Structure 1
Amino acid sequence: MTLFEKLLQEPSLHAHAGSAAKRASLKAKLSPSAEVKQVTTDLRISEGQDQLLDAKSVTVKGNLIIEDQGRLLVAGDLVVEGNIIHEGFDYSLLFVGGSLKANNLLFHGEIVVLGDFALQGVAWTYYSDYSAYADTLSARLVVSDDREDAIDKVRAPQHLVGHSSEIGPKLGKLLHKGLVDEEGEWSYTTLAKKLLKKEELLP
């Protein structure tokens, strides 16, 4: 049984990625192939689908969309030239054995990144069902919406952590007008639709 097959048997990767030492140990067990893979369009992981990419690097020219119960595991580096989107309320998994780079991220499920984790715009995770695991995360805006992510160091001019009722007013001032209403509320579906169309959340 391969390492990825073993990880897919776990209901959560917290036991394998919950600390820097555990992440380093996990990374040491990976040996990606020399393949360099490119996806010329969007990459969609359908509901209930598992996709394992044993490659040194993977580049997605469009968006990466992961549906509920979808799981994507990449042995090496992953570059998404568009956005990473999981707009749902069930488990999903994004595992990257190397570095992860993308424009924006909106994610409810579990994220494990064993290298650099860098977003050009917004890194938005929501709800406390799951967590994100990485040594570092950099973005212009990091939103941990009713969620405690296990990231050792966050590098961002703006980092909002808390319930939507607490962070809503400030978010309304940071995002494009109309994404957050006067009551400090928003729609994840609306955010996801904007990202699917590659529209920016930040001015």
Structure 2
Amino acid sequence: MSLLQKLMEHASLHEPCGTAGKRAHLKAGLPASAATKQVDGDLTLSEGTDLVFEEGRVHVKGHLLLEDQSRLLVAGDVVVEGNIIHEGFDYALLFAGGSIQADNLLFHGELVALGGLTLRGAAWTYYNDYSTYADTLTARAVVADDRADAVDQVHADTHLEGHARVIEGALEQLLHPDAWARYQGGSYAALARHLRQGQPLLRDSAPRRK
């Protein structure tokens, strides 16, 4: 049984990933691989799906979409040309033994990046059911709606934390008008649809893919 398969025995990765020391120990135990797995188009994990990649790099040419009760574990880096989205009210897991890179991230479930997170646009996590575990998070904008993420260093031009009602005014200024219209009132389902269509999230960003 591989280390990734052993991690799947945990109901949550808080215990093995909750501190920088634990994350470093875990990363040291992962196998090194030069292999790349490329996914042409979107990679969608339907409800209840578990997927493990032992490759050193997974490259998704479209969006990475996780439904409730789905889990994706990758030994190395996760590179997504589109957006990473988990919109729901149940558990989902995205684990990378390396780094995670994407345009934007909208995520409710549990998120682990042993090599750090980098978003070209926004990293948006919401609700305090689960957490994010990483040493670094770099994005133009970071939004944590009623969520306490366990990230040691955050590098962002805009960093919003707190309940949606508290940060609502700042969100309106941050988001593209079309994205704000979709989200207004806290509709994450509508915002997720907006991102799946490749529409812009931040005010000064352009659509990347349909």
Q: Is the 2:141–2:159 Cα contact (8 Å) retained in structure 1?
A: yes
Per-residue deviation at 1:32? Answer: 3.8
Aligned residue in 2 for 1:116: 116
SS of 2:192's partner is helix
Distance 1:68 1:32 in 2: 30
Deviations 1:3-27 (A, max 9, x none): 1121111110000111110000000
* Counterpart AA for 2:12: S
Aligned residue in 2 for 1:26: 26
Distance 2:59 2:66 in 1: 16
Aligned residue in 2 for 1:89: 89
Map 1:1-150; keep pairs closer than 5 Å: 1-150=1-150
Gap runs ≥5 in structure 1: none
Q: Is the 1:139–1:156 Cα contact (8 Å) retained in structure 2?
A: yes
TM-score, normalising length: structure 1:
0.96
Distance 2:88 2:149 in 1: 18
Distance 2:180 2:77 in 1: 34
SS of 2:48's partner is coil
Distance 1:32 1:161 in 2: 36
TM-score, normalising length: structure 2:
0.93
Map 1:160-175; keep pairs closer than 5 Å: 160-175=160-175
Q: Is the 1:123–1:141 Cα contact (8 Å) retained in structure 2?
A: yes
Distance 1:98 1:67 in 2: 22
What percentage of aligned pairs have identical amino acids? 57
SS of 1:152's partner is strand
Q: Is the 1:168–1:180 Cα contact (8 Å) retained in structure 2?
A: no
Greater shift, 29-38 or 158-167, is seen at 29-38
Per-residue deviation at 1:180? Answer: 3.7
Q: Is the 2:75–2:98 Cα contact (8 Å) retained in structure 1?
A: yes
Q: Is the 1:172–1:179 Cα contact (8 Å) retained in structure 2?
A: no
Per-residue deviation at 1:178? Answer: 4.8
> Residues 41 and 178 (structure 1 numbering): CA distance in 2 closer, same or farther, change over 3 Å?
closer
Q: Is the 1:97–1:113 Cα contact (8 Å) retained in structure 2?
A: yes
Q: How many residues are paired up?
A: 201
Q: Is the 2:179–2:194 Cα contact (8 Å) retained in structure 1?
A: no
Distance 1:14 1:3 in 2: 16
* Counterpart AA for 1:71: R
Q: Is the 1:79–1:101 Cα contact (8 Å) retained in structure 2?
A: yes
Distance 2:168 2:46 in 1: 31
Q: Is the 1:179–1:186 Cα contact (8 Å) retained in structure 2?
A: no
Distance 1:75 1:32 in 2: 8
SS of 1:140's partner is strand
Gap runs ≥5 in structure 2: 204-210
* Counterpart AA for 1:117: L
Aligned residue in 1 for 2:207: none
Distance 2:39 2:188 in 1: 26
